[in-house]
Amino acid sequence: MRSNRQRINRLSPAALASKPPRVATIESLDQEGRGVTHVDGKVIFVEGALPFEQIKFVSYHVKSTYEVATTVEVLKPSSQRVVPRCEYYGVCGGCAMQHLEFSAQVAAKQRMLEDDLWHIGRVKAEKILPPIQGTPWQYRHKARLRVRYVEKKGGVLVGFNEKATSYVTFMDSCQVLPKPLSDLIVPLKTLIAQLSVKQSLPQIEVAVGEEATVLVLRILEALEPEDLPHLQAFEQAHGVQLWTQTKGPDTVKPLFAHDKGLHYSLPEFGLRYPFNPLEFTQVNPAINRVMLRRAMQLLQPQAHERIADFFCGLGNFTLPIARSGAQVYGVEGAQALVKRAVENATLNGVSNVEFAESDLFDMTAELLQGLGRFDKWLIDPPRDGAIELVKALPDAGADHAHIAPQRIVYVSCNPSTLARDAAILTQAKGYVLKAAGVMNMFPHTAHVESIAWFERS
């Protein structure tokens, strides 16, 4: 999903150095992992600062009600401050919290979730679930790398954007990408510099499966015949697959033939999921497996039940639910993902599922009633949440309230929209928030993934 965050015009290092720093004590962290303080009645968001630290800062974005600043010196450091592992940290926009000890990052995300639930939704969970957390490094199996040919900087740049700018970070490695992929950044620069399209190749989509790694080159001009030997030699040298994308997602295709494709598996449920490199899959496969286990523990699917999986994607939750014997109805707005979900169900021999294409952001009470009654729901929406879906549920005490599911398990990638939807569920629809907790799907970023269990009272 696209961020609605306002772009910040960062000052140059020389301009920052020319401004006199101010001193403040940090009070808390905001939703983007920045320190928060108040100076002369104005809120200041300070990058690189932690709660209870005394710091010197310089503001580079000043408005009438707030400022955005960067830390120039830590006078009294937090006990939770650590030395960032990545040499590009602070410039690269891929991570925001490497200066905070790993377990403290998870605790901060739990506080963000609880704060949003209360301040936005006016709801508290009866139980806080233990956080799901995995390895802090080399976890990211999907990424979008930016590419830019800049002759003044020595040629080709490959990496993430610099913080709050459209510039590409000068980097030769990445600590959150799997090491074989991190090791490809420098060879990729060399490869792209040899291509005729080096100035018309703005990004590379990366997808790592269990038996293959695919790099999708987004090209704005057709390759020349002399490009192909360079590309084929790169594949053979590094054991990856190079694909191209010239326009929309339907133009994605491999450059050369391969005998293995992308897939991930869920051994606990005996499932295997082939996928296209641009199709949505979780970036952190280890956390995905634990997330599935927790979702099943909360949902408790039974063989006699009819269960809906809304925003089902390629069936990541649908097929594990179906392994219980329940009749499962998966709904997804993207036609290509519905097709993939049907293929995955067939591949895995799962017949007690049905998939439908529907825009869940246009859901109405009438449409929802037309689907019939479900015993339980699982919801896994994008960052916008599932407001139209939860609003379509009958109000508590309504004549047709019996069609509402007894239990809802809500997987969220945005605590603020979860909190908004939780307010509707608990204040109008007759549900109680039984439990909620975070899942650290994106270590070292401020991204908060969470799971919540609602029960109809």
Whole-number Å distance between alpha carbons of 98 and 267: 32
**Closest of 89, 100, 97, 93 to residue 10, by C-alpha:** 93
Q: Is 312 annotated as a binding residue?
A: no
Contact 449, 139 (CB under 8 A): no
- Give residue 35's identity as a one-letter amino acid code: G
Q: Is 449 annotated as a binding residue?
A: no
Phi and psi at residue 299, in whole multiples of 5°? -75, -35
Q: Is 359 annotated as a binding residue?
A: yes
Q: Is 316 annotated as a binding residue?
A: yes
Question: What Rg, from alpha-carbon coordinates, does the chain have?
Answer: 24
Q: Is 421 annotated as a binding residue?
A: no
Residue partners of 224: CB distance under 8 A and separation at least 6:
196, 197
Contact 442, 284 (CB under 8 A): yes
Q: Is 203 annotated as a binding residue?
A: no
> Which residue shows structure tokens 């599911």?
405
Catalytic residues: 413
Q: Is 4 annotated as a binding residue?
A: no
Residue partners of 266: CB distance under 8 A and separation at least 6:
272, 273, 288, 289, 292, 319, 320
CA dist 115 → 25, 34, 143, 429, 444 (Å): 21, 16, 29, 22, 20
Count of C-beta atoms within a 10 Å radius of residue 158 = 25
Q: Is 174 annotated as a binding residue?
A: yes
User: From edge to edge, which strands make up the β-sheet containing 66-76?
Assistant: 22-25, 54-62, 66-76, 42-47, 35-39, 28-29
> Which residue shows structure tokens 């301009």?
15
Three-class SS of 103-153: HHHHHHHHHHHHHHHHHCCCCCCCEECCCECCCCCCCCCEEEEEEEEEHHH
Whole-number Å distance between alpha carbons of 361 and 417: 13
Q: Is 92 annotated as a binding residue?
A: yes
HSE-CB for 325 with a 13 A CA cutoff: 3
| Binding-site residue set for S-adenosyl-L-methionine | 282, 311, 316, 332, 359, 380
| Binding-site residue set for [4Fe-4S] cluster | 86, 92, 95, 174
| Binding-site residue set | 86, 92, 95, 174, 282, 311, 316, 332, 359, 380
